[in-house]
Amino acid sequence: MNQVSVDAAAPVIVFRKESRWKEVWRRLKKDRLAMFGLAVISTMIILALLADFIVSYEAALKMNLRLKLAPPSAVHWFGCDGYGRDLFARCLHGARVSLTVGFATSIATLIVGSLLGAMVGYIGGKLDDIVMRALDIFSAIPSTLFAMAVVAAMGSGIVNICIAISLTNIPGFVRIVRSSVLNIAEQEYIEASRAGGTSTLRILLKHVLPNSVGTLIVQTTANVASMILTAATLSFLGLGINPPQPEWGALVSEGKEFLRTAPHLILFPGVMICVASFSMSVLGDGLRDALDPRLRT
Amino acid sequence: MHRFIFKRLLMMIPIVIGVSFLIFVIIDMIPGDPGSNLLGAGARQEDIDMLNEELGYNLPLMQRYGKYMYDAIFRLDLGKSYATKKPVITEIGNRLPVSLRVAFNAILFSLVFGVPLGVLSAVKQNTVFDRVPTGLALLLAAQPAFLIGLVLMLIFSLWLGWFPANGIASWKSYVMPMIALGLPYGGRQLRFTRSSMLETIRQDYVRTARAKGATERMVIWKHAMKNALLPVITVAGNSFGILIGGAIATETLFGLPGLGSFIVSGIKQKDVPVVTGGIIVFAVVFSFVILAVDLSYAFVDPRIKAKYSGRGR
């Protein structure tokens, strides 16, 4: 009986979703700033993926003291750092680390945060109280310090940085999802579904989460921007990836020793950080408007 | 009202206990022990053991935590730094004012340019007075504070020599950290003010105010502003945590003897009392900021004041 009703409903849902995403894409395409962000961040991702074909990783590590602090030139587009390493190669290979951290942490936060948020929001009661109080503790610690302590405890490296940064961002995400779920859970179609005997888990996965998908997408896109900044701050403070591996924040940190003599060392990685974070945030804004035109301001 | 404040203060106790325990456990997981960190690679094992015993580090984790909390609560003693042997509480007392000055200067600075420009861009929506500030705000909000700090340092201390690049000598030392931290924060403030204001000026009561003949200036600054500011206050308070994060990088960059740089060096040296004490203080400050934000609602909005004073809470 139950099975039949689900099967009958399935094609309808698919149809609705398809038209909705087409609609969103159509609106997003009109937003020039958002499309600019999308184009820039896509280019960055492609360049980072193809980094090995553009300049080899060895070029990013090869020291050449004769080229120490060399200014930008035709051979070394971004100049060379304090060890004579090619800054363009370091920025390009650094993009791999920085973008990976930005996207991986946002996706991890999305998965853990939305499941936990939907669960506590929908089930409520004691579970909600316990989880929310535990999250209060996490969010009372300044996130940069917390992430630093976690990286120090687990050791540096990309995976550990991702875990540390995700941990600091999950509480905020859970709160957002929870309030969105609380809102949806009051709707009549959820009540109808529950009255029809659908299990809690099924309601969560089939009805509640799909309906907060807009919130999730917007928040995740905005998160990528802020996580790129957090990762850069962490490695700027000296608790991030292992040197000599390049990463944008670490490059700025290395460059600050030569601020007076070679300002291009902070300029190029700095611009990378800003451009990546800016592109993701305008894309996030555009998505928010495209997903919910009523909010358009 | 008093009941509400009292309840909120009580709620801070479990948070402080939770925060301290969490930090204690995490810091304990950092590889190595303070003895060998302090004495360096060439030290003899007996000396390391002796130093660890002296620091009380040889006890099991739970015993150390119990002793730490006992001292903290009953003797207001946050232990001594492993590295400098100085009491952590005096060190925090010296450093917290520096951090707070940096943070509050930055908030003030961000509000001073963020809120008026946000109102302007909402009132003049879709004109050049809207596009320029909004675009600028977007760009600023995408910057890490340490990067703005480095650019300021390059221009104003290295090239022009107007402000010192390092340490605290006079008020001048606070100018660049304030701007570096305030600009990205103010960009966020501007955008929230704008969207909150846009929502407010479409409300019925604003139309009523116009209809009854109030001047445009009265409508915007009195009727709309008061209501539009509520979300702005919330955002200002809630993003205090983000601000602290930026403040740590800024303090380190400008060599300010603040609490953030103190904790950062503590983490690197596995100085448990320094990190735990410092983070507890940050957590308490943060909780007070959130409480202050909630209370400020009551002053702005009588509906919320009634809710706080109600028996239900």
With an 8 Å Cβ cutoff, are A139 and B241 in contact?
yes
Token pair of B9 as six digits: 């203060």
d(CA A138, CA A152): 17
With an 8 Å Cβ cutoff, are A140 and B146 in contact?
no
pLDDT surpassing 90 at residue A84: no
N residues, chain A: 297
With an 8 Å Cβ cutoff, are A145 and B146 in contact?
no
> Which position has the higher pLDDT, B241 or A149?
A149
Question: Which residue, chain included where needed, has tokens 């969560």?
Answer: A204
Q: Which residues have a Cβ under 8 Å from the Cβ of A271 and sit 6 or more positions away?
A: none
pLDDT surpassing 60 at residue A236: yes
| A152 contacts in chain B (CB < 8 Å) | 27, 30, 267-268, 270
pLDDT at B302: 74
Token pair of A239 as six digits: 């608790």
Using one digit for the tens of pLDDT, what is the confidence trace for A29-64? 888 888 999 999 999 999 888 878 877 777 777 777
Interfacial A residues in 224-243 facing B (CB < 8 Å): 225, 229-230, 232-233, 236-239
Query: Of A154, A270, A297, which has the smallest distance from its Cβ to B195's Cβ?
Result: A297
pLDDT at A16: 54
Token pair of A187 as six digits: 């709707």
pLDDT at A15: 52
d(CA B178, CA B176): 5
Query: Of A148, A273, A282, which has the smallest distance from its Cβ to B267's Cβ?
Result: A148
With an 8 Å Cβ cutoff, are A278 and B138 in contact?
yes
pLDDT surpassing 80 at residue B309: no
Question: Which of B36, B173, B92, B269 is closest to A238 using CA atoms?
Answer: B269
H-type alpha helices, chain A: 2-30, 32-49, 51-54, 57-61, 87-123, 125-140, 143-154, 158-185, 188-195, 200-203, 209-211, 213-236, 248-255, 264-291
| B14 contacts in chain A (CB < 8 Å) | 133, 137
Query: Of B15, B29, B268, which has the smallest distance from its Cβ to A140's Cβ?
Result: B15
pLDDT at A293: 63
CA of A81 to nearest chain B CA: how many angstroms apart?
Answer: 17
The Cα-based distances of A225 to A237, A240, A273, B140 in angstroms read 19, 18, 9, 13
| A132, closest residue in chain B (CA to CA) | B15
With an 8 Å Cβ cutoff, are B29 and A153 in contact?
yes
Mean pLDDT of chain B: 82
pLDDT at A9: 47
Categorize the per-residue pLDDT at A295 as very low, low, confident or very high, splitting at 50, 70 and 90: low
Interfacial A residues in 163-192 facing B (CB < 8 Å): none
Interface membership of A256 toward B (CB under 8 Å): yes
Categorize the per-residue pLDDT at A2 as very low, low, confident or very high, splitting at 50, 70 and 90: very low
Mean pLDDT to the nearest integer, B251-277: 86
Interface membership of A145 toward B (CB under 8 Å): yes
pLDDT at A108: 94
- Count of pairs with CB atoms under 8 A, one residue in A, one in B: 136
| B282 contacts in chain A (CB < 8 Å) | 141-142, 145
Q: Which residues have a Cβ under 8 Å from the Cβ of B230 and sit 6 or more positions away?
A: B196, B297, B300, B301
DSSP states of A146-170 as a string? HHHHHHHHH-SSHHHHHHHHHHHHH
Q: Which of A39-43, A195-199, B40-44, B249-253 has the highest mean pLDDT?
A: A39-43
Using one digit for the tens of pLDDT, what is the confidence trace for A142-197? 888 888 888 888 888 888 889 999 998 898 889 888 888 888 877 888 888 888 88
| A142 contacts in chain B (CB < 8 Å) | 241, 244-245, 248, 279, 282, 286
| Phi and psi based region of residue B77 (left: phi greater than 0; alpha: psi -120 to 50; beta: remaining) | beta
With an 8 Å Cβ cutoff, are B23 and A140 in contact?
no
- Least trusted range by pLDDT, from A83-87, A174-178, A284-288, B12-16: A83-87
pLDDT at B69: 83
Question: Which residue, chain included where needed, has tokens 């007076």?
Answer: A260
> Which position has the higher pLDDT, B171 or B23?
B23
d(CA A237, CA A224): 20
With an 8 Å Cβ cutoff, are A144 and B244 in contact?
yes
CA within 13 Å, CB half, B110: 34
Question: Which of B146, B147, B121, B149 is closest to B135 using CA atoms?
Answer: B121
CA of B208 to nearest chain A CA: how many angstroms apart?
Answer: 22
pLDDT surpassing 60 at residue A5: no
With an 8 Å Cβ cutoff, are A297 and B14 in contact?
no
3-class DSSP state of B32? coil
- Least trusted range by pLDDT, from A209-223, A266-280, B101-115, B180-194: A209-223
Q: Which residues have a Cβ under 8 Å from the Cβ of A247 and sit 6 or more positions away?
A: A94, A97, A98, A231, A232, A235, A240, A241
| A153, closest residue in chain B (CA to CA) | B30
Interface membership of A153 toward B (CB under 8 Å): yes
| A229, closest residue in chain B (CA to CA) | B144
Q: Which amino acid is at A58?
A: E
Interface membership of A204 toward B (CB under 8 Å): no
With an 8 Å Cβ cutoff, are B267 and A233 in contact?
no
3-class DSSP state of A281? helix
Q: Which amino acid is at A265?
A: L
Using one digit for the tens of pLDDT, what is the confidence trace for B110-141? 988 888 898 888 888 888 888 888 888 888 88
d(CA A268, CA A270): 5
The reported pTM is 0.83
Mean pLDDT to the nearest integer, A247-251: 85
pLDDT surpassing 70 at residue A6: no
| A164, closest residue in chain B (CA to CA) | B26
CA of A278 to nearest chain B CA: how many angstroms apart?
Answer: 5
With an 8 Å Cβ cutoff, are A263 and B249 in contact?
no
With an 8 Å Cβ cutoff, are B154 and A259 in contact?
yes
**ω into residue B231 within 30 of 0, thus cis?**
no
d(CA B4, CA A130): 21
Question: Which residue, chain included where needed, has tokens 């948070």?
Answer: B15
Asked whether the beta carbons of A164 and A233 are under 8 A apart, the reply is: no
CA of B130 to nearest chain A CA: how many angstroms apart?
Answer: 12
Question: Which of A291, A3, A139 is closest to B241 using CA atoms?
Answer: A139
With an 8 Å Cβ cutoff, are B15 and A282 in contact?
no
With an 8 Å Cβ cutoff, are B260 and A145 in contact?
yes
- Least trusted range by pLDDT, from A44-53, B108-117, B204-213, B294-303: B294-303
CA of B186 to nearest chain A CA: how many angstroms apart?
Answer: 16
Token pair of B226 as six digits: 């008061």
Q: Which residue pairs, CB below 8 angstroms and at least 24 apart, start in B51-55? A: B55/B82
H-type alpha helices, chain B: 2-29, 34-39, 45-54, 61-74, 88-123, 128-141, 145-152, 172-200, 204-211, 216-218, 225-238, 240-254, 259-269, 272-300, 302-309
Question: Which of A71, A228, A239 is closest to A151 using CA atoms?
Answer: A239
The Cα-based distances of B307 to B3, B4, B166, B227, B236 in angstroms read 12, 10, 48, 17, 22
With an 8 Å Cβ cutoff, are B141 and A150 in contact?
no
The Cα-based distances of A39 to A203, A282, A286 in angstroms read 37, 11, 13
Query: Of A133, A150, A277, which has the smallest distance from its Cβ to B26's Cβ?
Result: A150
d(CA A81, CA A101): 24
Query: Of A149, A232, A259, which has the smallest distance from its Cβ to B158's Cβ?
Result: A259
Cross-strand partners of A86: A80
Mean pLDDT of chain A: 81
Asked whether the beta carbons of B225 and B199 are under 8 A apart, the reply is: no
Backbone dihedral angles phi then psi of residue A181, each to the nearest 5 degrees: -70, -40
Using one digit for the tens of pLDDT, what is the confidence trace for A112-144? 998 898 888 888 788 888 888 888 888 888 888
Using one digit for the tens of pLDDT, what is the confidence trace for A253-270? 888 888 778 788 888 888
pLDDT at A297: 47
Q: Which of A67-81, A200-214, B10-24, B241-255 has the highest mean pLDDT?
A: B10-24
Using one digit for the tens of pLDDT, what is the confidence trace for B44-87? 777 888 777 777 777 788 888 888 888 888 877 778 888 788 88
With an 8 Å Cβ cutoff, are A270 and B198 in contact?
no
d(CA A104, CA B189): 28
d(CA B256, CA A49): 40
